[in-house]
């Protein structure tokens, strides 16, 4: 994180010999002209795949905000040669630290603790100046819409507490949560609270049905919304990092973000999660920490006389027999796509881990619609399950926030939750990530970095016309040998072309001697597929 001190634009970007920044046409812009603007400092490089993916997104946001003359971006390159920097900068509409000023670039990297790129730092002025208007309006729109389609000026919402409700219309977690939010909304309004919800519907791939579904949903709800397919519906989720489904961001009366997502608070506490104030959030966090610390396997899987799970043929396994084991809770259903896409991989993991560590078990928590579907789905699995229709499913949903299938949650030997991101970890690291702890992930990352030492960042190959770049990939099919690969690939983003490192290095034109020089020139950067890190 950047150090929590205030800097002037002059102290950040100028030197005794330079009082300007440059555009890609070499036009000089005086640094003092940036005073009072919201500034983004963009640390990036041409050789960084994740940077090249993010830059067009930032260009789109910049082009929308720039006409207001309140926002500017300053590019700080990590390229090591002028030609690469210049070609990359030529695609950017904003300002940059001159390539020749390596001292300022180094100082900014140190000041903002840049260990991974792409990185976009906003200065204190930008965060301080966030308003409801800056969030919810665009150059072509200064309103939101009501359930009957009327345009409501965003200015009418100033001074209120606002919930930005990010949803996919057809997703079950959103369908389940919306009635709970409606209940809270109506209670707060009845009590005279200055509270409003603005819904932000994201496209979920239901071609031809989306607009009518949106209109039908909005007519049934008491709050406001951004218009259908408004450009902000895709930009705001990125701005607020609203990756969970659903997300409810709370904006205070002053236009500042109070909390990034209160869905879990509402699921856990209902109306008692209100009022949405910093003091209430601190109170709820303390309550949750205490509950998490005291969690045991029995506290989440035993309810009254329901102290068992079932194996094949309905045999009962006491929860007490599972205490001290690593447990995965697997929320799924016959109708889930993961039945064909993911279930075989999970079965493979189960057998591999059990062969090494018998203190491991998976428990299926069914989202199926009927007993027959449950029976058919469970028949494909070699592990245990909660009986269909068991009341403990609702308790698990409530305590562990298992809100939608497919879901995998890891419970450690002490009964505490290890992680709710098992699916992501498995896709990224495979079976070796067991037992899914932070320590194990760090060990694997260190192993991956060691594996790639000495490999060139880029190379050419006789099987492909474009230069290939070393990238982190989850699962791919090698275009050289047609065998599945993962972790590292020599990849062409333009053509979606992959080569195993072995195939690329054995038959490519790159060499390990070239690799050492390439690594040296990039200051030992390592890419994980989303961010490039300094090794």
Question: Same domain for 19 and 63?
Answer: yes
Question: Same domain for 151 and 282?
Answer: yes
pLDDT recorded at residue 253: 95
Residue at a domain's end among 89, 108, 123: 123
Question: Same domain for 274 and 153?
Answer: yes
Q: What is the domain range of residue 479?
A: 455-508+522-534
**526 domain residue, yes or no:** yes
CATH number at residue 69: 3.40.30.10
- 428/418 Cα distance (integer angstroms): 17
pTM for this one? 0.51
Residue 273 CB neighbours (<10 A): 19
pLDDT recorded at residue 414: 94
Q: Count each helix (H run) and each strand (E run) in the chain, helices first.
A: 20, 27
Low-confidence stretches of the chain (pLDDT < 70) are 1-7, 115, 121-128, 204-209, 243, 337-339, 398-405, 507-531, 533-535
Question: Same domain for 273 and 158?
Answer: yes
Question: Same domain for 340 and 472?
Answer: no
User: At 505, phi and psi to the nearest 5?
Assistant: -80, -30
If one counts the domains in the chain, the total is 4
**442 domain residue, yes or no:** no
**23 domain residue, yes or no:** yes
Residue at a domain's end among 290, 324, 358: 290
Question: Same domain for 420 and 460?
Answer: no
How far from 251 is each of 87, 147, 255, 411, CA to CA, in Å? 40, 21, 6, 34
Question: Same domain for 137 and 209?
Answer: yes
The closest alpha carbon to 489, from 445, 459, 524, 465, belongs to 459
**201 domain residue, yes or no:** yes
Question: Same domain for 313 and 329?
Answer: yes
If residue 61 lies in a helix (H) or strand (E), which one and from where to where? helix 49-65
pLDDT recorded at residue 473: 82
Q: Are 503 and 462 in contact (CB under 8 A)?
A: no
**380 domain residue, yes or no:** yes
Residue at a domain's end among 70, 91, 123: 123
């Amino acid at each position: 994180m950047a150090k929590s001190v205030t800097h002037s634009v002059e102290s950040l970007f100028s030197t005794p010999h330079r009082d300007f920044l440059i555009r890609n046409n070499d036009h000089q812009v005086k640094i003092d002209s940036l005073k009072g603007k919201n500034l983004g400092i963009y640390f990036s490089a041409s050789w960084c795949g994740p940077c090249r993916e993010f830059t067009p997104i930032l260009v789109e946001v910049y082009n929308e905000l720039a006409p207001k003359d309140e926002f500017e971006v300053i590019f700080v390159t990590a390229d090591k040669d002028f030609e690469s920097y210049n070609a990359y900068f030529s695609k950017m509409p904003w300002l940059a630290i001159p390539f020749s000023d390596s001292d300022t670039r180094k100082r900014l990297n140190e000041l903002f603790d840049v260990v991974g790129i792409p990185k976009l730092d906003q200065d204190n002025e930008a965060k301080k100046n966030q308003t409801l208007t800056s969030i919810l309006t665009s150059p072509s729109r200064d309103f939101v819409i009501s359930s009957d389609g009327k345009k409501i000026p965003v200015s009418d919402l100033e001074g209120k507490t606002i919930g930005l409700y990010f949803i996919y219309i057809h997703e079950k977690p959103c369908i389940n949560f919306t009635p709970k939010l409606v209940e809270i909304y109506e209670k707060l309004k009845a009590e005279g609270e200055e509270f409003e919800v603005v819904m932000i519907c994201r496209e979920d791939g239901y071609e031809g049905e989306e607009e009518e579904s949106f209109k039908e949903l909005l007519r049934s709800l008491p709050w406001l919304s951004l218009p259908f397919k408004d450009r902000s519906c895709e930009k705001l989720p990125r701005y607020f990092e609203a990756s969970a489904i659903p997300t409810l961001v709370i904006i205070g009366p002053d236009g500042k973000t109070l909390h990034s997502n209160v869905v879990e608070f509402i699921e856990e506490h209902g109306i008692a999660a209100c009022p949405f104030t910093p003091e209430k959030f601190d109170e709820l966090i303390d309550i949750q920490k205490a509950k998490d610390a005291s969690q045991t396997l029995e506290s989440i899987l035993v309810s009254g006389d329901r102290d068992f799970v079932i194996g094949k043929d309905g045999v009962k396994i006491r929860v007490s027999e599972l205490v001290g084991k690593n447990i995965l809770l697997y929320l799924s259903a016959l109708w889930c796509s993961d039945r064909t896409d993911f279930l075989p991989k999970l079965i493979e993991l189960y057998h591999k881990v059990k062969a090494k560590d018998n203190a491991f078990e998976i428990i299926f928590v069914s989202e199926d619609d009927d007993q027959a579907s449950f029976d058919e789905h469970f028949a494909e699995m070699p592990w245990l399950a909660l009986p269909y229709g068991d009341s403990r499913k609702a308790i698990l949903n409530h305590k562990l926030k298992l809100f939608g299938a497919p879901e995998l949650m890891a419970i450690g030997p002490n009964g505490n939750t290890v992680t709710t991101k098992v699916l992501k970890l498995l896709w990224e690291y495979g079976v070796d990530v067991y037992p899914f702890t932070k320590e194990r992930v760090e060990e694997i990352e260190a192993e991956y970095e060691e594996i790639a030492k000495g490999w060139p960042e880029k190379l050419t190959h006789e099987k492909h016309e474009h230069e290939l770049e070393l990238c982190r990939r989850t699962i791919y099919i090698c275009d050289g040998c047609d065998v599945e690969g993962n972790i590292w690939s020599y990849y062409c983003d333009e053509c979606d072309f992959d080569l195993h490192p072995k195939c690329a290095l054995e038959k490519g034109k790159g060499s390990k001697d070239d690799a050492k020089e390439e690594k040296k020139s990039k200051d030992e950067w390592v890419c994980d597929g989303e961010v490039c890190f300094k090794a």
